[in-house]
Amino acid sequence: MGKRKENSTNMLNEKVIMECELMYAVCKIGGRWKLLILCKLENGKLRFSEIKRLIPEMTERMLALQLRELEKDGLVKRTVYAEVPPRVDYELTDISKELVPVWRQLEVWAVRHKKLVEE
């Protein structure tokens, strides 16, 4: 994949968005799968296959991509064990553990919002 131009619309939009701390946070955990993956890791380490089993609708390719992004952003720690066959565990980093009360509060809000919309 090629490098994006510094003055491309996409790069300029990203710079503006990243200036707002809330938008920055949403970009790091946003999307269809990232927050769901983080929630599944809330109770401790999981292997790739265990995460895949917990989110069967997600393709293996998408899971690998999302885990890679979460690791790059410092939200997930990947540990590779020198075993045969190789074993890899994923777990929340300390900074992502701070998000647990935030997404619990979002759940409370979501329940109230769903009820309001359904009425």
* Predicted local distance difference test score (pLDDT) of residue 15: 73
Identify which of 95, 79, 92, 102 has the alpha carbon closest to the alpha carbon of residue 44: 92
* Predicted local distance difference test score (pLDDT) of residue 9: 77
User: In tens digits, what is the pLDDT along the chain, a chain of 119 residues?
Assistant: 456 566 677 777 777 777 778 888 888 888 889 999 999 999 999 999 999 999 999 999 999 999 999 999 999 999 999 888 889 999 999 999 999 999 999 999 999 999 999 98
Alpha helices in the chain (DSSP H): 9-19, 21-29, 34-40, 48-54, 60-72, 94-97, 100-118
**Whole-structure pTM value:** 0.81
